[in-house]
Structure formats: structure tokens, C-alpha cells
Structure 1
Amino acid sequence: MKVHKVGSWIALLVVMTMLLAACGTNKDSAKNGEKESAAKTTTIKIMSVSQTENPDGPAEKEMAERYMKLHPEVKIEFIGVPMNDLYKKITAMATSGDLPDAFTMTPQFARTANGMGITADLTQLLGTEYLKEFYPNIIEESSVDGKLQFLPWNAAPMALVYRGDWFEQEGLKGPENWDEFLEAAKKLTKDTDGDGKADQWGFGMIGTRNGSGADRFIAIMRSYGVEELRKDESGKWVSDLATPEAKEAFQFFVDLNNKHGVVPPGVTETGFPEAASLMATGKVAMMLTGPNALGNIVSQNPELKGKLYSVPVPAKVKHTATFGLLGYSIAESSKNKEVVADYLKFMVEDENALKWNELSGRLPTKIEVGKQQQLTTPEYAGFVKALEYAFTIPAFDQYSQFQDIVAEAYQSMIAANQSVEAATKRAADRAAEVIGNSK
């Protein structure tokens, strides 16, 4: 009996030991499974200017969430940066070797970024057959020396947005030239509350010293036939900033504030968000902008839906426009290029592009998507027409410096009352220095 009992106890211990070992093995397997699952997750970081805007930011996150549901092995994290700080932020992060997997890019900065060696060649990554789905001129504008620097997500050609209802009340039409523009701006600058001071202005001028302000002024200047940078007959880079036409353009722009008083106070600190808010709150009648402003303004004041019209940038000698392209570059240093490329392709799929246009007002970059849109309303007509007048950014590595050159000039005239002769001389001297250093 004792032997039998001992044997039973031994058998029981063996069984318990096996059960405990099995439990341990199961726990270890579960932990290993969790580690393996975590190891398979690819996190991509994207620096986005859209994250600092509304309704763009939430909509972009929603699109990323839909992608992550389709691809649970991918996690997308955004880094928000204002458009006006973008170039400095990219440069700083590149210098510290801390660039994210992808970052917002524009034609104005693409050559500089390419020269820094921080952008992957998307032509090779995405393939030439895929790129045939986009408008050829947009692909050209997004490339440097035949290499696609960023996938063009959307286009925002510059035009003049104006309060159509106010213009109709005053018997005005959308300005074709700068004389008509000034007439309208004066007529729509008013004291609406009777306190003897203007509280409604004709023009929401963006006068900041950055790309946002500079691009708008460059469009005005080019309407005068002035090119901030071009190649002469011999193929050399030259600038028109010292010409009489350039001086006339600068003086007209500055006089809107200093002489005619048709812009709100604080113009040198008024960027896109401030100007859009001024229009949304009924403080200004006109602003130079891309179609993305329509979504921004209406999101702030839904009552303006259908009351915002657009026409091409008024002409002095011609109409003009920028393409206003915005997209994403993939960092050359990224270890997740293929994953990022797949997400970027998802962003411009037909359904997503149409939703983005409806929400933000920005125009599509793919041919088939463009065919599906009805953009003939007074809101969009000016932007669609503006594409006919869009100019290509000069293929100059340090082009972004010319944005600062012209912005410094108009700010010095507005804020420091510097003469047009002194301001344009400094601008021309800086331009010559930049061109000289590029050789």
C-alpha cells in the first residue's frame, strides 16, 4: 500500500510539473507573439503643414486612419508645422540628421532640398508608368533634372477671391485689371458702425516676410511683366528687380496700405490664417489666395457658402498665377520608402482626391480625377481659368532666397517707409549676389 501511495504521489507531481511547464510555455509563446507583432509594425513619420490648418488637419488624419485600417501593420504619426516655418524646419532637421520619413514640399524649395541630398528620387520609386496618370506640367513642376522630388498631392493656383454678394450690391464686377481692383477696394473700405473709423476693408493683404506673402507679391509683380529671376538670351540668370516696372509694382502694392488705406492694420503680421479669418468674419472683401481658402473660410463661417467668387489675378500687362503645388517628399534617409510611397499613392486615389477637393477646395493632380469634377461655379471659375496663366518656378537651386528678397523689400517700404528706389536697389543687389554665388 505504501509503495502504491508513493507511486501515486510521484505520478501526480509529474503531471503537475508538466502542466506548469505548459503554462510557462504558453505565456512565453504569448509574449513572443506580442513581441513579434510589435516588431512587424512599421511606423512612418510625416511632417505636414496641413496639420496646422482647419479643416485640412482633421481630414488628413481621418484619411491616414482609413489607410491604417487597411494596413494594420503600418502606424502613421504626424508632425505639424506651419507653412511659413516649413523650409527652416526641414533645414534644421536635415542638419541634425533627424528628418521624418516624409515631409511637405513645394516647387519653390524642391531644388534646394535636392541640392541638400535629402529627397529620394520618386520617379524611380513610383515608376514612370504610374506618373503618366498625372498632368504632365504638374509632374514637370514637381521634378528637378527629370527626377520627381515630391508626389504632387494637390494644386492651389492663385487667384483673387472676393465677396460676390458685396460686389453685386455695389454694382461692381470681378476685377480684370489693377485699376478696377483699386476702385473696388476703395468702394468696399467702409465705416459700418458709424464711429468714424473704417472697420471693413477692400483687401486682405498678406504682407508677412515669408513664402506666403512673397508668392502673392511675385504674382502681382509678374502681372506687371516683371520676373524676379529669369534667363537672358545668353542663358545667364538675371533679375528684373531694378527695372521701372518692378518699382511700379512695389509702389502699387505698398500704396494699398500706406496711401489708400484699403487694408486692415498690422499688414506686416498678417499671414494666410489671419487674412482668411478676416474674410470669414466679414472684415475684408478680397484676398489673393489658392482655392484652399474657400474651405477654410466657409468652415469658419458656413453662411458664406456660395457668396465667395473668384477671378484670375488682375492684370497690368497680363494675368498670372502660380501652380500652388503641394505634396510630399520621401526622405532619402528613410528606411521605409516603399511603405511611405504606398501611402502617398493611397492619398491621391480617385475617391480620396475627390473628397479632399470637396473639403479643402484644392484641385486634383491626376488627369482622370480632374475629369470627374465640376468646377464651373463662381467659386472655382477663377481658379480653373488661372491654370492657363500659371508660370513655372525658375529651375534655380536657391530660388527660395528670392522669396525673402522681395518680402524684405515690401516690408521695408511698409514698416520703415523706405523709398521704392532704396528698397528695389537692395533687392537687386541681393539678387545679383545670390546669382553670383550660384556659379
Structure 2
Amino acid sequence: MPLGKFSSHRRARVALAVTGVAAAALAGCATAPDAGLAAGAALSPEAVTSALEEGGDLLVWAWEPTLDEVVEGFEAEYPNVDVELANVGTGNDHYVVLQNAISAGSGVPDVAQVEYYALPQFSISGSLADLTPFGAGDLDGAYSPGTWGAVTDGDAVYGLPMDSGPMALFYNAETFYEAGVEVPATWDEFVEAARKIHAYDAGTHIIADDGNAGFATSMIWQAGGRPFTVDGTTVTVNLADEGSARFAAMWQRLLDEHLVANVPEWSDEWFQRLGDGTIAALVTGAWMPANLESGAAPASGDWRVAPMPQWTEGANETAENGGSALSITEASEKKALAYGFLQYANAGDGVQVRLDHGNFPATTADLTSPEFLAKEPAYFGGQRINEVLSASATGVVEGWQYLPYQVYANSVFPDTVGQAYTGSASLADGLVAWEESMVAYGRNQGFTVRE
């Protein structure tokens, strides 16, 4: 899921973590493979089979709750393997601890959960193992294009996708009906719907947004923006491109007319208002249904899912929002065994475990499964929501890249673009300030940054 707001203390810690990643990348100091893995035979599909039979201990750092049950199933199938699953924190806290362990050269897990936006920071420094010797490249096509693009760099594969977040419009059908609003198919229609809903009830808003970097970048992605390009340690930052400007102009209209509720995501107030219909819609990733069911239970039966509003009527262009992979650290001395766990968790039986708990898959076989598509959750009035969400996965716009210090970039979003949500600046000016911050930071870390 997208990350929430940051305190200044957490921003400082993120900066320290990212400094370590950047320094490692620019020094070219990827951790050397363990001597026991130097032979090519130790990095092969056959080595994975042998490692699973021989067994051993694995340390996995992850916060995804269904992995507890995945680990149980894995250990039952491979009784000689003992997996220690540790939650060292979520989001940025997780990355700070991971980077500290990598920098110290001790206590590094064999497997780590890494969100797609954060993965380049660890892969560019050589902190993550390339999985292609184990046959990971053969899985091209087994995952949705957006998630596969997030874990690959050229021919290298730095993780196996665990879930995905193709975006859609989640909306409260009861509120829309009472306000006399049709489901918007375009962003112009979305703005009109926002006006009608707020006119119907001044205490009701079509959406909440207090300034979230993950949401903003996903919106820019869908709008055709390419603000970040990366070629090794040379990066380009351009938040004045067409897609960025398109998003900023449209969203500024909503902010100027006070049509967006300034309510923090994941707060009690946010869930309460989703439950009573006074926040009438969300534009977010396909992982959202389980969160609505648990956090906004009073609205059961009222919510529906529609395609993400389009910039061009009739198009099917979407973006990813959230999601993560499981990666193997370069420091691991048990890479073959670790890859066996990745195969089980993200390409084998472990996938169904997460689906059974309401997670949204990254695997194309599940995205197109008649059984998966036919599900009719009562919370959504019996609608076959997976048909809409799976269609979104096929429309993810290709070519998006994150910065190799995106965790830091997202952490300073509230201090730059975030000012627009309080009326202190425009979104356009905020994007300029955000770009300036990212450019300065990247250059200070030794990257070649172009504008």
C-alpha cells in the first residue's frame, strides 16, 4: 500500500538510509558473492532443487501478514527448511533497518520485501541479487506488465512480484445516487461529479487527498508523464513534462474549489467517512477491497468499482499504485534456497494463500482465471469487481521509471508539493520545488542529474 505521511524525524532517518544506498551505488561496491556461491553451478535452477532437498535456515524480512501462512505451507512441503519471518517495520522503517544491516555487513536477511517504488534504490547499489541464473527470466509473461517492469532492469530480474495495484475508481453508489451523479468515465466528468456531490451536501466530498506522493506519481504516470528517467547513475528529473502538467492543472481545479477533503489516509476519520459515504470515492490500487471491508464495514453493499477515469474518452490507460516484491539480498549465502522460497511464495502455492485472504495478484494466470473473475463480494453488492480490476492491469501505461532515491523523494513531498493542499502554493509551483529538491539531493549524493 502507499506510504503515509512522515514526521521530520522519520524524514531524517530516510535521508540517512538513502545516503547509504547512493554511496554504495556510486562507489560500485556491490557486496561480493559468498565464496560458496562463486561457482556457476551454485546459481542455477538445478541448485534450487538441491537446496530445497538439503534444507537449511532462511531469514525473511517482510510485513505482509499472509506470509505467516505462506511460510507454514512452505515448511510443510519442504520440512528440511526452517524460515524465520521477521517484521522489522513497514515502509520507510523497514528500509532504514535493511540499509543499516547492509551497510554494517551483518544481520542481512536472505529475503526482503521491497515495494516497487523502492526497489531501484537497492538494486542500483548491488544490494539485491540478480535472479536470472535461477531461471527467473523465464517468468516473463507470468506477471502483469506493470509489475514485471518494476522488478526488471534490462535482462536482470531483482525480485518476483508479490502483488499488484492497477488503479480503478472505487465509489459509494448510494452517495452517487442520492447526489444524482453518474459514474465519471473521464477526468473532466470526475471534476463535474465532484462539484455535484459537494453541492448536494457541503460536508461530502468525492475524494480525500492531503498530499500523497504515491498517489500523485501514479496520476502523473497515467497521464503519460515520464518525470524520472534513469540510466545507471545518470538520472533526469522533469516535473514540467506534459503528464505532470496535465495532472496538476486538473487536480488544482478540485483544490481551488474545495472539492477534496483534506483528511489523512488510513486515519480513523478517513475510514469513518468512507463508512458513512461523506468521502464518496477513491482512486487507488486493486488491493483496496479488503481494507474497505475491514475499515469501512458500515458501507457494506454500497460500494462499487469502475474503471479509472481517462484523459481520453474510451481509452484504457491506467497506472500502478502500491504493491511489492520479494527480493534476495546479494549478501545472502543461501541464494538458491532463498529462490526456492520466492518460487513457492510468488509463483507457486503461496499465491493462492494470499488470494484467499483478499490480496490482488500480479500473476497473469490468476488475473485471467474464470474463478477469480467470477467472484461477487457482498461488500460490493455482488459486483464482479475483479473483472474491472483485471482489465485495469492490462492497461498500465508502459515506460514508467522511479528514481534510484525515490524513498527520499517521496519523504520530502509534504514539504514541497504538499503545500498546495493547504493553499500555501499551487501544485505547479509545488512540483517545481519538489524537482529542485530531488535534483539537489541527487547531485549531493554524486548522481549525474539532468533537468
TM-score by length of 2: 0.70
Question: Does 2:290 match 1:290?
Answer: no
Question: Does 2:111 match 1:102?
Answer: yes
2:257 corresponds to which residue? 260
TM-superposed deviation, 1:220: 2.3
1:49 corresponds to which residue? 63
Question: Does 2:96 match 1:82?
Answer: no
In structure 2, relative to structure 1, the CA distance for the partners of 1:295 and 1:190 (3 Å cut) is farther
Opposite residue 71 of structure 2, the aligned amino acid is A
Question: Does 2:197 match 1:188?
Answer: yes
TM-superposed deviation, 1:331: 1.4
1:185·1:201 contact (CA, 8 Å) conserved in 2? yes
TM-superposed deviation, 1:271: 5.0
1:138·1:152 contact (CA, 8 Å) conserved in 2? yes
**1:429 alignment partner, one of 408, 424, 436:** 436
- The CA distance in 1 between the partners of 2:90 and 2:353, in whole Å, is 23
Opposite residue 363 of structure 1, the aligned amino acid is P
**1:116 alignment partner, one of 120, 125, 131:** 125
Q: Which has the larger radius of gyration?
A: 1
**1:341 alignment partner, one of 339, 353, 357:** 339
1:67 corresponds to which residue? 74
- The CA distance in 2 between the partners of 1:71 and 1:165, in whole Å, is 49
| Local SS of the residue matching 1:90 | helix
TM-score by length of 1: 0.72
| Local SS of the residue matching 1:411 | helix
Question: Does 2:235 match 1:227?
Answer: no
Opposite residue 281 of structure 2, the aligned amino acid is M
Q: Percent identity?
A: 17
- The CA distance in 2 between the partners of 1:276 and 1:125, in whole Å, is 43
State the Cα deviation string for residues 164-216 of structure 1 (Å, max 9, x = none).
33323434332222232223233334897xxxx72x43213252xxxxx2121
TM-superposed deviation, 1:230: 4.3
- The CA distance in 2 between the partners of 1:415 and 1:159, in whole Å, is 26
| Superposition map of 1:267-278 within 5 A | 267=263, 269-271=264-266, 275=270, 278=273
Query: Number of aligned pairs?
Result: 377
| Local SS of the residue matching 1:175 | coil
In structure 2, relative to structure 1, the CA distance for the partners of 1:386 and 1:120 (3 Å cut) is same
2:367·2:373 contact (CA, 8 Å) conserved in 1? no
1:322·1:392 contact (CA, 8 Å) conserved in 2? no
Structure 2: which 5+ residue stretches go unaligned? 1-53, 375-382
| Superposition map of 1:70-219 within 5 A | 70-73=77-80, 74-97=82-105, 98-129=107-138, 133-135=142-144, 138-189=147-198, 198=203, 200-205=204-209, 207=211, 213-219=212-218
TM-superposed deviation, 1:282: 3.8
1:247·1:424 contact (CA, 8 Å) conserved in 2? no
In structure 2, relative to structure 1, the CA distance for the partners of 1:203 and 1:136 (3 Å cut) is closer
In structure 2, relative to structure 1, the CA distance for the partners of 1:83 and 1:64 (3 Å cut) is same
In structure 2, relative to structure 1, the CA distance for the partners of 1:106 and 1:178 (3 Å cut) is same
State the Cα deviation string for residues 97-125 of structure 1 (Å, max 9, x = none).
33322111233222221122211122223
- The CA distance in 1 between the partners of 2:224 and 2:404, in whole Å, is 23
2:380 corresponds to which residue? none
1:158·1:324 contact (CA, 8 Å) conserved in 2? no
| Local SS of the residue matching 2:120 | helix
Opposite residue 93 of structure 1, the aligned amino acid is A
TM-superposed deviation, 1:136: 6.2
| Superposition map of 1:315-330 within 5 A | 315-316=310-311, 319-322=317-320, 324-330=322-328
Question: Does 2:447 match 1:438?
Answer: yes
2:109·2:332 contact (CA, 8 Å) conserved in 1? yes
1:332 corresponds to which residue? 330
In structure 2, relative to structure 1, the CA distance for the partners of 1:153 and 1:231 (3 Å cut) is closer
2:230·2:403 contact (CA, 8 Å) conserved in 1? no
Structure 1: which 5+ residue stretches go unaligned? 1-39, 51-56, 208-212
In structure 2, relative to structure 1, the CA distance for the partners of 1:323 and 1:122 (3 Å cut) is farther
- The CA distance in 2 between the partners of 1:272 and 1:363, in whole Å, is 26
TM-superposed deviation, 1:152: 0.8
| Local SS of the residue matching 2:206 | strand
- The CA distance in 2 between the partners of 1:48 and 1:280, in whole Å, is 30
- The CA distance in 2 between the partners of 1:226 and 1:243, in whole Å, is 6
TM-superposed deviation, 1:306: 4.9
- Report which of the two has the higher share of helix: 1
Higher relative contact order (CA 8 A, sep 6+): 2
State the Cα deviation string for residues 17-55 of structure 1 (Å, max 9, x = none).
xxxxxxxxxxxxxxxxxxxxxxx98443322232xxxxx
Opposite residue 59 of structure 2, the aligned amino acid is K
Question: Does 2:294 match 1:299?
Answer: yes
